[in-house]
Amino acid sequence: MQRSGALLLFPLAVLLSGCDFVVLAPAGDVAAQQRDLLVVSTMLMLLIIVPVMALTVFFAWRYRQSNAKAAYTPDWDHSTKLELVIWAAPLLIVICLGALTWLGTHLLDPYRRIDRIEPGQLVTQNHKPLRVEVVALDWKWLFIYPDYGIASVNELAAPVNQPIDFRITSSTVMNSFYIPALAGQIYAMPGMETKLHAVINRPGTYTGFSANYSGAGFSGMRFAFHGLSDQAFAEWVAQSRSARDTLSRDNYLELERPSENEPVRHYASVDPDLYGAILNLCVERGKMCMNEMMSIDARGGLGLAGVRNTLPLQYDKLARRGAVFGNDPSYVASICTAEEAAAASRAASDADVKYWPVRDLSPLRGAGLLGPGTGSRRADAETPSLGLLRFEL
């Protein structure tokens, strides 16, 4: 029976031998440090787990019912030495784990620029970082190289021993950007930017993917990451620049449509403002960018006059792209002070145009409402916005 059980384990061992333990054998220095942290933490925990499991088996065997030689002391209830061992050992382990976690959290912070290429080789001024802007789409990855003016889909390349600065966002739902051989995973979220700093130390082709479920095509959301020599990377850039396609805003709007198992493609040029528009959810022309809305809100908001501007910010994507709700939407061209508004009103030649002055804007309220003691307005009128003119015909 024991022999047949061992034979059953043999196929399992053969299958496991084909696994790629890339987390324990990474090709990047950041991933290698994370591997070391994982191994050391596991070994420290095993210092408690292994003795406890071994003593459990030992006590069960030694004090079994059939062992008449074992000492029977039913009145025993305390041992200072035993209490010291039971509490001191786990406490020391917890202290060590806490110290390792604190150091690892700060030294391996993905937002922190790396300070070494590999053990014994520090980053110098000669190591210019490679900037890569990453966009998670449904269900593919877009990589923009702002320093080279090129972009690629589902293929990423970088020179070995050169720092890489990733700026990561998403076009739709939250995803997770993960190259196990390079560094840990980092989330990609719409309307937000996350960062990752890493370096690849060995040439090769590695797998990257999304580690966060994002819909029907999630399983095919994989890409190839190439660690190349300087010459090979220059050739890869030249190949991308010779591609037929260019990545304009209109082409991006077509690219972001949901698709599965997208093939690798390259773009010879990229709109320099595209990534900023993706990040601020305003690639489609006519939408107010999120950073513009935040700037207006920081000045007190636009009140009811700005409600229409919230519609373009809703990330409706394809189903409601270009739709018009109700009246024609309003657009904010600029924000003027009360004095400028009064001067514009006096200069108006049309006597029917009435100026509604803003009496007091300090302190500004979140929705551009009047402060205390600034008087009342007509009950049937809308609340005016920050420094805006209200025209009544």
Half-sphere exposure for 112 (CA within 13 Å, toward CB): 10
The number of residues making up the chain comes to 393
- pLDDT per residue rounded down to tens, the chain (393 residues): 555 655 666 665 555 555 667 888 899 999 999 999 999 999 999 999 999 999 999 988 888 888 888 787 878 888 898 889 889 988 999 999 999 999 988 999 999 999 999 999 999 888 899 999 999 999 999 999 999 999 999 999 999 999 999 999 999 889 999 999 999 999 999 999 999 999 999 999 999 999 999 888 999 999 999 999 999 999 999 999 999 999 999 999 999 999 999 999 999 999 999 999 999 988 987 778 888 888 888 888 777 666 666 555 555 566 556 554 444 454 555 556 667 666 666 665 454 444 445 445 454 444 444 444 444 444 344 434 443 333 333
Non-local (6+) Cβ contacts of 83 within 8 A are none
| Of 332, 133, 139, the residue nearest 220 (C-alpha) | 139
**Tokens read off for 162:** 């050169």
Which are the contacts of 384, defined by CB distance < 8 A and separation ≥ 6?
303, 305, 356, 358, 368, 377, 390
Between strands 150-153 and 265-267, the pairing is: antiparallel
pLDDT for residue 344: 66
Find out whether the peptide bond into 363 is cis, omega within 30 degrees of 0. yes
Tell me the pTM: 0.73
DSSP state of 2: H
* Cβ atoms 191, 282 nearer than 8 A: no
- Which run of H or E residues covers position 197? strand 194-198
Q: Provide the pLDDT for residue 128.
A: 92
Q: Which residues contact 362 (CB under 8 A, 6 or more apart)?
A: 371
In the chain, the amino acid numbered 321 is: R
